[in-house]
Chain A
Amino acid sequence: EAGVAQSPRYKIIEKRQSVAFWCNPISGHATLYWYQQILGQGPKLLIQFQNNGVVDDSQLPKDRFSAERLKGVDSTLKIQPAKLEDSAVYLCASSSIRDRAYEQYFGPGTRLTVT
């Protein structure tokens, strides 16, 4: 099966600019996660969708970050305006509620550099 797709792979922006990331999960996976991974740290969950509904966004800085999954398939994560501390890799992952329901499959990530 095809894996989780993300784009772009790299992005460099100046602080106060806006940026958007896109994720297409594995076909049929109902759960989609966005993680922020700062260099040298573990992934931190930003937001989690079950189909097109948000089930956890407790760690999403809502004053500048937003995410949507309108049709319950692909998703976009937006940062507006970006800060220097947003420099990180943004990982998208998906999982299925069938079979190995707990296993997350990660995309290649988008490396964001804010200057």
Chain B
Amino acid sequence: DTGVSQNPRHKITKRGQNVTFRCDPISEHNRLYWYRQTLGQGPEFLTYFQNEAQLEKSRLLSDRFSAERPKGSFSTLEIQRTEQGDSAMYLCASSHGTLHADTQYFGPGTRLTVL
């Protein structure tokens, strides 16, 4: 257990539905990252927050995806109008420093299946 928690751990939804995932980072960590991992691939960067500010988004993050970190603590990732291609493991990670090279602590992930 790294201290980063994610909920739910699994989510099965029908195409077209909206889903929301939550990440609770290690409490003193100011950076929070979201990644997506599909089967047999490494994680892909989606977006990151420095405290409550969303500073960078990947081009992979379509308009259907939105992320928030309202008080600089927990974060949510919402996917609207889900598509089958959204099926993946969504990983959250947090870090204490101000550099992307700093060690990140990963949560267990939320596995999304879109039927």
A and B: bona fide binding partners: no
On B, residues with C-beta under 8 Å from A are none
